[in-house]
Amino acid sequence: MMKTLLLTENAEDIASAAELIKNGNVVGIPTETVYGLGADACNENAVKAVFAAKGRPADNPLIVHIADFSQAEKYTSYVPALAYRLAERFCPGALTMVLPKNESIPLITSGGLDTVGIRVPSHRAMHRIIELSGCPIAAPSANISGLPSPTCAGHVMRDMNGKISAVVDGGVSEYGVESTVISFDSENSVRILRPGAVTPEMLSEICRDVIIDPAILNELAEDASAPSPGMKYKHYSPKANIIMVEGNYNNFIKYIRENEKDNVWLLVFDNDSTEFPYRYMTYGADSSQQAHLLFHRLRELDEAGAEKVYVRAPSKDGVGLAVYNRLIRAAGFEVIKV
């Protein structure tokens, strides 16, 4: 066990966080999507410590965070023209581009792959930490592997206290779901490997074709190879058994009344009627509020001791696709349509 410092966003603390990372330590860092566990992406021992702190399988690669997209060339062997066009619009921001890596990124960082996911985060403290550390920062979400991603410093402390050097409190994450991960299928087309705050509609403004990988909404067959290793693992999963029910509110509540006693929990929308005998939480009224609140609620449901939770399925439009994707994974790909 080590002592985990809780740092603020003031200049001195940011400098300490950067110094810790530069010296090979692991630090919980805020970003606009979710909190990350940051370490020098080129330091094999530091990256090993990240995998150990999370309990993450070694074949699941880490995203490398840089201060400006122009630096992508330092860590990759080829950057397609389309990537630069996307960077103009979405960097800094919630977009991770998978590109062929060069030898400066160790295989341990890339989970043994010959590619690396590159992201330029917009969170000011995070941006400053990258600049001051002088290194590219490898950072997966700062949760214990398999648990919901952390969207505030308290979540990171709960999962990582005693395992890492420090956590920087940069407030509640603006988006609340992880970045959109894309790969390049051809000169004009991208494939979404994980949906996030940069939506398919937004990508379509720049790319001719935007392919939504089928594994985003469907379970991978056991013998299928995953275009992104993260697709293979059960993610975002709280302790409670999550059941997704898709349909309007009346059908949703009718289904639960017919099938359950009053010992289950419900996760419903803000404007839903709550005239039912069940304990419940709400997670917003539109997709961006749902993204902002989802991981927070999943953690709160665990703390409340919820064992079985019926969730009203969100819309798949816009950032809703990301919310739906996290929930369907938490639910083990089962959706009840009513």
> Looking at 17-25, 27-35, 70-78, 239-247, which segment touches ligand TXA (CB under 6 A)?
27-35
Query: For ligand TXA, which is the closer residue by CB, 47 or 245?
Result: 47
- Rounded distance, CA 338 to CA 324, Å? 16
Candidate list 4, 16, 31, 165; residue touching ligand TXA; CB under 6 A: 31
Based on the shown chain and the rule CB under 5 A, indicate whether residue 141 belongs to the binding site for Mg ion: yes
Residue among 76, 141, 199, 288 that touches ligand TXA (CB under 6 A): 141
Q: Which CB sits closer to ligand TXA, 119 or 312? A: 119
Phi, psi dihedrals of residue 268, rounded to the nearest 5°: -125, 180
Per-residue binding string, ligand TXA, 273-312, x by CB under 6 A, is ----------------------------------------
For the chain, the three-class secondary structure string (H helix, E strand, C coil) is CCCCEEECCCHHHHHHHHHHHHCCCCEEECCCCCCEEEEECCCHHHHHHHHHHHCCCCCCCCEEECCCHHHHHHHECCCCHHHHHHHHHHCCCCEEEEEEECCCCCCCCCCCCCEEEEECCCCHHHHHHHHHHCCCEECCECCCCCCCCCCCHHHHHHHHCCCCCEEECCCCCCCCCCCEEEEEEECCEEEEEECCCCCHHHHHCCCCEEEECHHHCCCCCCCCCCCCHHHHCCCCCCCCEEEEEECCHHHHHHHHHHHCCCCCEEEECCCCCCCCCCEEEECCCCHHHHHHHHHHHHHHHHHCCCCEEEEECCCCCCCHHHHHHHHHHHCCCCEEEC
> What is the pattern of x (binds Mg ion, CB under 5 A) and - over residues 95-134?
----------------------------------------
Query: Which of Mg ion, ligand TXA, none lies near 282, with the C-beta cut-off 5 to 8 A by kind?
Result: none
Taking the complex as a whole, the smallest distance from the CB of residue 97 to Mg ion amounts, in Å, to: 17
Output the smallest distance, CB 206 to ligand TXA, in A: 19
* Longest CA–CA separation in the chain, Å: 60
Q: Which stretch binds ligand TXA (CB under 6 A): 115-123, 266-274, 305-313, 327-335?
A: 115-123
What sign does the CA torsion over 183, 189, 193, 194 have?
A: positive
The single residue among 4, 16, 25, 33 that binds ligand TXA, judged by CB under 6 A, is 33
Does the protein bind ligand TXA through residue 267 (CB under 6 A)? no
Using the rule CB under 6 A, give the single segment among 18-26, 39-47, 109-117, 323-331 that binds ligand TXA. Answer: 109-117
In the bound state with ligand TXA, the residue whose beta carbon lies nearer, of 120 and 256, is: 120
Q: Shortest Cβ contact with ligand TXA: which residue?
A: 230
Asked if 80 is part of the footprint of ligand TXA (rule: CB under 6 A), the reply reads: no
Output the smallest distance, CB 269 to ligand TXA, in A. 25
Of 100, 106, 229, 247, which lies in the binding site for ligand TXA, with binding defined by CB under 6 A? 229
Bridge partners (DSSP) listed for residue 28: 37, 167
Which residues on neighbouring strands pair with residue 308, listed in sequence order? 241
Q: Please report whether residue 178 would count as binding ligand TXA according to CB under 6 A.
A: yes
The answer to whether residue 115 forms part of the interface with ligand TXA (CB under 6 A) is: yes
Residues at the interface with Mg ion (CB under 5 A): 141
Residues at the interface with ligand TXA (CB under 6 A): 31, 33-34, 36, 60-63, 96, 98, 110, 113, 115-117, 119, 139-141, 178-179, 181, 193-194, 228-230
